[in-house]
Amino acid sequence: MPSEKTTRKRQSDGPRTFGSFYLGPNYDSQPTLLYSGSNFFDGGQITVSEGHSWPPKGKGFSGDVGGDFVTNKSECFVSGTPVKLIGGTDPSRFYSYYGHLLPVSPNDVLGGHLCQLDIGLSDDELNAKGAEAIARCSPTNPLSDVATFLAELHSEGLPGLPFVNGWKSRTKGILHVPANEVLNTEFGLLPMVEEIQSFADSVKHAGSVLEQYRRDAGKGVRRQFRFPLDLDHHSEIVKESRPPILSDGNYGRPELYYGSPGNVVLIRDISRRLWFSGEFTYHLPEGDNLAAMFRHALEAEKLFGIEITPEVLWNLAPWSWAVDWFSDAGEVITNLQNFKIYGLVMRYGYIMEETILSDFYTYEGPTSLYNLHRSGGEFVRELIPPSSVCSVSVRSVQKKRVQANPFGFGIEWADLSPTQLAIAAALGITHLL
């Protein structure tokens, strides 16, 4: 019995960035720390699933012991080294900063990523993909094939019932005529024997088809189908005219800024893998008529390998089993056609998805941050290049699995008909309630 669905969360430590802001009375003095701070780019994981005992209880259990689940893991990366800045407009007050420069804050990048469960397809979309995968990879429905074959043989491949009934009177008419004379007459034995043997050959072949179908009933056929990899790549400016962020817990000091700032650029990559895995089988609707069909096939086989004379033909009474074949075949065809819509079921079936969302933030254009340095006894502003700003990336990986009912995706056990439930039970497929 599966447990109730639970949500489990955990946090993982990510990179730390730091920054310290100082004040000194002059350019060469030892500055005093005003404040310092850090930014935390922690990741995490969230999983929603149900528990299943293993091994399953019950000897010979062949049902499905899995279930739906979704998990999302997010992690962040920061690439870059600290920088040192000195600035100020008052000759008696020099401000300095040592730490990282960031294009975005942790809240900007993690708020839309961390432990979100909506970056993949919805359950309805995955059910539709699962139905498409089944249509593409499932083995051909054997029940439908057999029903179609017998129906075509019954209606087109064999002589009609009135024609078969005529064999009796034709045999009686030549019963006491010597065989060597009958073969040369208009109502000779040989053409009639060929007709009966042709009929018997078709019935024998039908028996072989049914026998193969019966042997394979209940056996599993495993199939997998993979959809093409879905890739998307694009870039956009997400912050315009905004300077880099000082990683000290604050958003910068005006003493360090000069000129117009640049932009924050986001490069986003999304990849999605989808695949199906399942095991197919089918149920054989047994019955007295089906047993009679196998008996008719054996009787038809008797007509081969023996010398046919009027007496042998009369004693075999081929019209008797041939006439019976039509009624028995009609019942079997009806049963097969009634079952063929449910003729292929799954012992298990899952559609699985892995979505990877990667966001990469960089800074382009002027930073508007500067560093003072002496040149010929005067202070000169030197703008900090955008390459001094760290890059920040976030990677979220979502894995999702949706379970199928034995009769397809998006179908609940409560919605199954009595016939479907009976077929599932006959195949040993049960639902873990």
pLDDT at 357 over 90: yes
pTM for the model stands at: 0.77
Contact (Cβ atoms closer than 8 angstroms) between residue 264 and residue 238: yes
pLDDT digits (tens, 9 = 90+) for 328-340: 878 788 777 767 7
Average pLDDT score over residue span 341-367: 92
For 80-119, the pLDDT digits (tens) are: 999 999 887 777 888 899 999 999 988 888 765 665 667 8
Please check whether residue 433 lies inside any domain of the structure.
no
Give the structural domain span for 262. 6-426
What CA dihedral angle connects 261, 262, 266 and 267, to 10 degrees? -150
Residue 245, domain member (yes or no): yes
Domain assignment of residue 271, yes or no:
yes
Tell me, yes or no, whether 432 lies in a domain. Answer: no
* pLDDT tens string 32-90: 998 888 888 988 899 998 877 666 665 555 557 778 999 999 999 999 999 999 887 77
| Cα–Cα distance measured from residue 388 to residue 119, given in angstroms and rounded to the nearest whole number | 32
Q: How many domains does the chain have?
A: 1
Q: Give the C-alpha separation, 142 to 287, whole Å.
A: 18
Confidence of residue 168 (pLDDT cuts 50, 70, 90): low
Q: How confident is the model at residue 165 (pLDDT cuts 50, 70, 90)?
A: low
In a domain, 431, yes or no: no
Assigned domain for 109 exists: yes
Reported as type and span, the H/E element at residue 392 is strand 391-403
Domain presence at residue 1: no
d(CA 154, CA 199): 11
Whether the per-residue pLDDT at 309 is higher than 70: the answer is: no
Q: Of 152, 146, 145, 195, whose CA–CA distance to 170 is shortest?
A: 195
Residue 364 lies in a domain: yes
